[in-house]
Structure 1
Amino acid sequence: MTHPTDRLAEYAAGAGAPDIAAHLAGCAACRADLAAWQRLRAAERLDAAPPPGPELLAGVLRRVRAAPAAPPVLIAVPRYSGPNRPRRLLPVVGQLLAQQARLIRRPVWVLAGLAIAAGTVLAAAVPPGRAAGLFGLVVPPVAALIVAAGADDSGPADELVRATPTSPRTVLLARLTLLLGSTVGAGLLATLLLATRDQLGAPGLLLAWFGPLVPLCALSLAVAVAWRPGAGMGLAMAIWMLKLLTRPGLLDARIAGAVATVWQPALPTVAAAVALAAAVVLAAPLLHRNRIRISGVAQ
């Protein structure tokens, strides 16, 4: 039996022939093939259906316009404004100081506290009238050393800090505020405790250590930030040792005069030291990049 397989597609499209109809009446396999072609033909007619007319879109729009409009929902969005600035600034500053306190190495706090405590005990043990001179040799170098140590940003945690949007200027200013605030606070507490041990009283004790603290910390900070923290600490210790040697008169008069300028500063010297510290803080990003470049060349 010959099957008209190649003619079934035409038969499904309507081009019928009597012989194909007679054959389909007695052949189940060809009827199955014809049914498949008819299903395919129906699918083609669905794909070729024309797109919906504009009346469909017009009906949808009529329904949308006829529906009642829902009232608008107002959502209050908080915004940053002037009156809220102080309330938001204080938590940010407190959080920054707390983070910097964790980044400063614990030995810095321990050694500074022990040094000031030991200086307070020794100043209380000396004869009356000598407490100011002794205590004035303790607080300034301690403050200068911890300021230089605070400028060290080579730790693993400091690498993460540099990856944040916080600028090196802000980080340095926060550390200076924390370190100097803690040292000056401890010095003031010790001054109140030693006020009765010196004939100058609390004001004399305060001037004895706060006067040299300002220029000594400014010099130590400048060298530590511009070069390296170890150099800033070394400079502070060198000036302190020269101060100890000036008492027996072992130094040249010019060197002794330079040391006296730092240790017994006049008002212009204090103003210049404050200006130097401010310039170092402002130039901290540039100095930080130069220090990294110099360290890379040295390695």
Structure 2
Amino acid sequence: MTGVRAPAATEGRPPKAAGGGRRGRLRQLTARDRFTLSLMAGIPTLITVAFVWVPAVASVVLSFSSWSGYGDFSTIQWVGLENYRNIFTIYPEFQPAIEHNLAWLAVFFCVPAPLGLFLAVQLDKQIRFSRIYQSILFLPVVLSLALIGFMTELIFSPTQGLVNNLTGHADHHVIDWLGDPHLNIWAVMVMACWRQTGYVMVLFLAGLKSVDPSQKEAAALDGAGGWQTFRHVVWPALRPINVVVLVVTVIESLRAFDIVYVINKGTDGLELLSVLVTDNIIGEASRIGFGSALATILLVISLVFIVPYLISMFRKDERA
């Protein structure tokens, strides 16, 4: 007599929860757990909406107005597109600020991003004293941009600066790195890149730790070299980190303010959009509407770089 056996596929498997998957796990949560999760997700969301999205939307709305910031909201005069028209036609500081911001963005993409990736790949090989190297390279990130600005003045000072003393230009043929409008933006960007490289390096290091070592070993067994392994195994696994690096690079390059304001308050070759926004909103002029229009332009520029890349990344994830 032959006995009936249970299907082999079900042997040794724990019983599935009712309504399996994420929905099933959510149904198993108690009311207290759901309340705790709601607080943990709701409070940061409310803070973000209150201190980020509401001011951003208010800036866009106020960009169509003329308001000094004094008095109540009844003193606001709506002027339509006049602020934007004045920015693009009769505001001389706008064009150099746009050029400097775009140059800053291009340099951040071409120097700190690939250099940070290179350093992260080297440190991920578990070389000797890698922890010490990581700490040294990350140390500039801990410093504020204002302090980086003071260091820039010390390093590029015409007579007492490190650069001119090392190159022999401190006494004769002095190079005014920070006073020359054609040189100061590049001197400042050297220091900004020095700080940004450590930040990008840490982001890529975090991404490299998530790469499955077995995939690297399989690639090596198949005869792939170091570059081929990086291109076909490591780089695709860094896709989420690439999005983070892109967003961080764009934000850091467009919000640069402290380092140039410390040197000469963002004038004489160091004009940036963030400085123009500050000067118009909280400066002596106090033109809230005009400054909000500049802030809106800065927001649009950042979204032009970020949104298309995010859309393409999300589409690739859906296809995968």
Class of the TM-score when normalised by the shorter of the 2 chains: under 0.3
Instruction: Compare CA radii of gyration and give the structure with the larger one.
Output: 1
* TM score, norm. by length of structure 2: 0.23
Q: Point out the structure with the larger helix share.
A: 1
